[in-house]
Amino acid sequence: MLTVTMQDLYPFDSWNYVFGWANYTSRTGVFSFGRYDPVFNGEIPTPESQNELLENACYVMVMKSDTCSVSHIAPSMNAS
């Protein structure tokens, strides 16, 4: 299962935020788009900024960092 959130993720109190976190054993992962939102940097929400967030989110999910989270989950899905 892969979950998406707009909240920052802090796996441990001593860590800075992370964009994604996965658990190989339970085949779960979570990915945060909060920092990809232009509103995070203080911009006023507009239809254009929401489109930018959607474009950024799609790009990241398909082409970038989420591949790491999914790669921790996917191999175990094929195991019996």
pLDDT for position 9: 92
* 8-state DSSP, 27: T
Q: How far apart are CA 43 and CA 52, in angstroms?
A: 12
CB count, 10 Å around CB of 53? Answer: 19
Domain residue ranges of the chain, discontinuous segments joined by +: 2-77
- Does this model's pTM top 0.85? My answer is no
Residue 55: what residue type?
Answer: E
CB 55, CB 27: distance < 8 Å: no
CB 30, CB 3: distance < 8 Å: yes
pLDDT digits (tens, 9 = 90+) for 18-69: 988 888 888 888 888 888 888 888 888 888 888 888 887 777 777 655 455 5
Q: How far apart are CA 60 and CA 35, in angstroms?
A: 12
